[in-house]
Amino acid sequence: MAAAGIQLHPACRVRQEGFGLLFYDSRGPRLLFAATGSLLHPDFFKTVRERDELPEGLSDREQTVLQKFMSQLLEKGFLREQPIR
């Protein structure tokens, strides 16, 4: 059985803004403003990643905050589970 990861839902888009990231869900439409600053780049969401995978070089606090944020994105439907190949 393949391990499950997460990826941006195909109906969703993400772009960089001055405050961080803006997520747009065309199924709603819904917007989500995320004050992530420069911690995450929109390209981070282009591939399937493990649930706890984050960019390198983050402090423990930043990792904790971003892991919670990723869980919220999954709960709200901006991310979806995908098999990791």
pLDDT tens-digit series, residues 31-55: 999 999 888 999 999 889 988 899 9
Contacts of 63 (CB under 8 A, 6+ apart): 54
For residue 10, give its domain range.
4-80
Judge whether 49 lies within some domain: yes
For the chain, what is the domain count? 1
Q: pLDDT at residue 2 above 80?
A: no
- CB 48, CB 7: distance < 8 Å: yes
**Which residue shows structure tokens 């969703």?**
12
- CB 49, CB 40: distance < 8 Å: no
- 79 beta partners: 8
What percent of the chain shows pLDDT beyond 70?
96
- CB 66, CB 53: distance < 8 Å: no
Judge whether 85 lies within some domain: no
Nearest to 78 by CA among 39, 42, 37, 38: 42
Residue 57's domain is classified under what CATH number?
3.90.930
Judge whether 11 lies within some domain: yes
User: Whole-prediction pTM value?
Assistant: 0.86
